[in-house]
Amino acid sequence: MSIGLEISGLQVRFGAFTAVHELNLRIAPGESFGLVGESGSGKSTVLRAICGLAPLAAGAVKLTGAGELPEPGSKAFRRAVQMVFQDPYGSLHPRQTVDSMLAEALAIHAIGEAERRIEAVLDAVGLGHGFRFRYPHQLSGGQRQRVAIARALILEPKVLLLDEPTSALDASVQAEVLNLLERLRAERGLTFLMVSHDLAVVTHLCERLMVMRLGREVETLAAADLVRQQVSADYTRDLMRASAGFVRSA
């Protein structure tokens, strides 16, 4: 069963600087939601705050849906909510094989049947078993991102936090990884919260999105409305103009 995510009054401070101001966000179970905005607007900080990597100065994060739901800060929450980073070269350990990275993720969460799960997850992300004993430098950028997705997926999460998951990739590889993510979401009933500076990527993968600026919400709208250029805020129009190829003239 899918699980949703709710953020209320989220505030994140780094010393005297407030990176995120009282942000509210509700993502339905199984929904794919995007966060867009210029560099420094606080998008990555929101993802990091959700999974406990950035401190909450105020506000709350909770999972929503039927049944018993893991509490933020618990081991079950850290398993249910997985993050995939932009730069798979930076996020994969250079001296660890794909096999040992995946086995380590299972060991941390005391999940058994490593052999079966590792083979199954490599199949799921479209990498054959031949990739199992390779090191990151023996993989292409797209293959590395598939490994990063596999490492998140092997824990059978409910929510994926995707931080610019395809921006380090060539356009054709980017499309393959986006299609993979879309298929995995449909097959597994995953909920996505994706950060991207690329409006074409966000509108391809997400149903709704929030435009952020200087740590605040500018507006939240359906991806289809952004494509139809039905937006309310001037800032969103500026962002559309700045996103190469998204609108030719506005």
Q: Which stretch binds ligand ATP (CB under 6 A): 39-47, 57-65, 123-131, 181-189?
A: 39-47
Instruction: Determine the Cα–Cα distance for residues 165 and 185; give it in Å rounded to an integer.
Output: 14
The answer to whether 45 contacts ligand ATP (rule: CB under 6 A) is yes
The answer to whether 197 contacts ligand ATP (rule: CB under 6 A) is yes
Q: Which stretch binds ligand ATP (CB under 6 A): 38-46, 132-140, 145-153, 228-236?
A: 38-46
Q: Are strands 17-27 and 4-14 parallel, antiparallel or unpaired?
A: antiparallel
By CB under 6 A, the residues from 83 to 122 that bind ligand ATP are none
The answer to whether 44 contacts ligand ATP (rule: CB under 6 A) is yes
The answer to whether 213 contacts ligand ATP (rule: CB under 6 A) is no
For residues 61 and 5, is the Cβ–Cβ distance under 8 A? yes
- Cα 26 off chain centre by: 15
User: Which position among 5, 10, 29, 41 is part of the footprint of ligand ATP (CB under 6 A)?
Assistant: 41
Helix (H) or strand (E) holding 75: helix 75-80
The answer to whether 190 contacts ligand ATP (rule: CB under 6 A) is no
Instruction: Give the number of residues in contact with ligand ATP, rule: CB under 6 A.
Output: 11
Helix (H) or strand (E) holding 204: helix 199-205
Identify how many contiguous H helices and E strands the chain contains and give both numbers.
Answer: 10, 9
- What strands lie across the sheet with 58-64, from one edge to the other? 17-27, 4-14, 58-64
The answer to whether 14 contacts ligand ATP (rule: CB under 6 A) is yes
Cβ-based nearer residue to ligand ATP, 83 or 121 = 83
The answer to whether 166 contacts ligand ATP (rule: CB under 6 A) is no
Instruction: Determine the Cα–Cα distance for residues 34 and 211; give it in Å rounded to an integer.
Output: 8
Task: Give the binding site for ligand ATP (CB under 6 A).
Answer: 14, 19, 37, 39-45, 197
